[in-house]
Amino acid sequence: MPSIVRTFAWLEGLGWTTALRESPYGYPLIETSHVACIVVFAGLVIMMDLRLVGLAFTNAPLAQIQRRLFPWQMATFVPSTATGILLFCVDPLRYYRNVFFLAKLVLLVLAGLNALAFHLKTYRRADRWDEDSQVTALARFAGAASLLLWSATIISSRLIPNNWFK
């Protein structure tokens, strides 16, 4: 048995993962929180992305939009990730074989790298951008990539329950 399967089997057999898997309220509560946090997070990310690609809030300075949205993006990203990890731990053997779950992980990493590159590189020069004019081509690209990657992440997440390819 490969060691990753052994690790997941061990994880699945733990007291707390078993309790959560069989719980009448605990699991639905975590699952609901997971989705609720993602809904808010995605909404806030889309607002920022639409500003970057120039489709919304073009009369508001980008730096101000970023400053107002970012804390709430983080405040919803952290709990959605934490609850997501919990949900994985409850049934690791089923998820790691699920093609949509694997696709979601890859998309999540790509979306994360895009956001990281934007914040560390492109956004650094944001204060030099005209307050209400278009942002640089690189920043527009980051916004468009973010829209596509986060949408694809959520779509593949929604497909995880369908075990069409086993």
Partner 1 sequence: MKTKLFLLLLAVGAFCAVQPAQAHHAFAAEYDPMKPVTLNGIVTRMEWANPHGWIFMDTKESDGKVKHWTIETAAPSQLSRHGLKKADFTDGMTAVVKGYQGKNDPGLANGRTLVLKDGRSFYIGSVGGPNDGAEPQ
Instruction: List contacts with partner 1 (CB under 8 A).
Output: 20-25, 27-28, 31, 90-91, 161-164, 166
Is the separation of the CB atoms in 20 and 26 below 8 Å? Answer: yes
Half-sphere exposure of 105 (CA within 13 A, CB side): 10
Is the separation of the CB atoms in 62 and 5 below 8 Å? Answer: no
CA 63 to chain centre: 22
> Which residue type, as a one-letter code, is found at position 86?
L
Nearer to partner 1, 128 or 166 (CB): 166
> How many other C-beta atoms lie within 10 A of the C-beta of residue 59?
7
Nearer to partner 1, 130 or 165 (CB): 165
CB of 98 to partner 1, least distance (A): 12
Nearer to partner 1, 126 or 160 (CB): 160
CB of 71 to partner 1, least distance (A): 25
Cα distances (Å, whole numbers) of residue 8 to 22, 27, 83, 85, 105: 17, 19, 18, 13, 17
Nearer to partner 1, 45 or 90 (CB): 90
CB of 27 to partner 1, least distance (A): 4
CB of 9 to partner 1, least distance (A): 14
- Among residues 33, 136, 135, 124, which one has the least CA distance to residue 75? 33
CB of 21 to partner 1, least distance (A): 5
Residue with tokens 């992980």: 105
Nearer to partner 1, 99 or 126 (CB): 99
